[in-house]
Chains A and B, each alone.
Chain A
Amino acid sequence: DAGITQSPRYKITETGRQVTLMCHQTWSHSYMFWYRQDLGHGLRLIYYSAAADITDKGEVPDGYVVSRSKTENFPLTLESATRSQTSVYFCASSELAGVGETQYFGPGTRLLVL
């Protein structure tokens, strides 16, 4: 049982390039989230999705694009990467919309923008 997977696990890119981070979950969870984690800032929500074709902005959405055509996939695209987007990116999912739902995290993607 794979659970929630992210790819690639590590990525080095250059400023201005487009990068897509993939997230796949096998539980059919309704909600999916993208976070970035940086020293001194903790986990910050980039985008989230309540269901296929429903997405919404989080705390730090600028420079990112998401889509969710299928329940199990939630790719995150950096349209034109900047050095400030160097970070560790985590995808997470939760089963239901009720208050108090646990979030399940993927292993993360470490992105370095040169």
Chain B
Amino acid sequence: SQKIEQNSEALNIQEGKTATLTCNYTNYSPAYLQWYRQDPGRGPVFLLLIRENEKEKRKERLKVTFDTTLKQSLFHITASQPADSATYLCACNAGNNRKLIWGLGTSLAVNP
């Protein structure tokens, strides 16, 4: 079955460093992949979308890559700040419909 996997272990990094989060998918080829941020007690908030024909997408300090050969997306936060601490969710389209398949998320803690 279609599956999305993200690092289950929390990621702890020092302020100013680059955080890199991984999203792997198996058993299908999504047309696009989205990254969301979720803070405790809140709903997910959209950050970036990358399509299968795009290698890289950037938005301010955020960068997403999409490697269809490795079946993987990497999400980078450069010059990380304590305010970037949150859980980051990866989601891919489920085939040709509008539904999304979600990863479990990776918790990021940026230490001052």
Choose one: B31, B43, B91; the contact of A106 (CB below 8 Å): B43
Which residue of A is nearest B4, CB measured?
A42
Least distance between B50 CB and chain A CB atoms (Å): 9
CA distance A28 to B10 in the complex (A): 37
Contact B104 A40 (CB under 8 A): yes
A100-B43 CB under 8 A given contacts A42-B102, A48-B98, A94-B98: no
In the bound complex, residues from chain B placing their C-beta under 8 Å from that of A103 are: 44, 46, 100
CA distance A50 to B96 in the complex (A): 14
Q: How many residues of A contact B (CB 8 A)?
A: 24
Contact A92 B98 (CB under 8 A): no
- From 93 to 112 in chain B, residues with beta carbon under 8 angstroms from any chain A beta carbon are 93, 96, 98-100, 102-105
Asked if B42 CB lies within 8 Å of chain A CBs, one says yes
CA distance A107 to B100 in the complex (A): 19
Least distance between B25 CB and chain A CB atoms (Å): 14
Choose one: B31, B45, B104; the contact of A99 (CB below 8 Å): B31
Asked if A90 CB lies within 8 Å of chain B CBs, one says yes
Which residue of B is nearest A98, CB measured?
B98
Contact B43 A48 (CB under 8 A): no
29 contacts between A and B (CB under 8 A): A31-B98, A42-B103, A42-B104, A43-B44, A44-B102, A45-B99, A48-B98, A90-B43, A90-B44, A92-B43, A99-B32, A99-B93, A99-B96, A99-B98, A100-B31, A100-B51, A100-B93, A101-B98, A102-B34, A102-B49, A103-B44, A103-B46, A103-B100, A104-B46, A105-B43, A107-B41, A107-B42, A108-B41, A108-B43
Residue numbers of B with Cβ under 8 A of A are: 31-32, 34, 41-46, 49, 51, 89, 91, 93, 96, 98-100, 102-105
Not counting A42-B102, A94-B98, A107-B41, a sample of 4 additional A-B residue pairs whose C-beta atoms are within 8 angstroms of each other reads: A31-B98, A43-B44, A99-B93, A104-B46
7 closest A-B pairs by beta carbon, nearest first, are: A105-B43, A43-B102, A42-B104, A102-B46, A100-B32, A42-B102, A105-B44
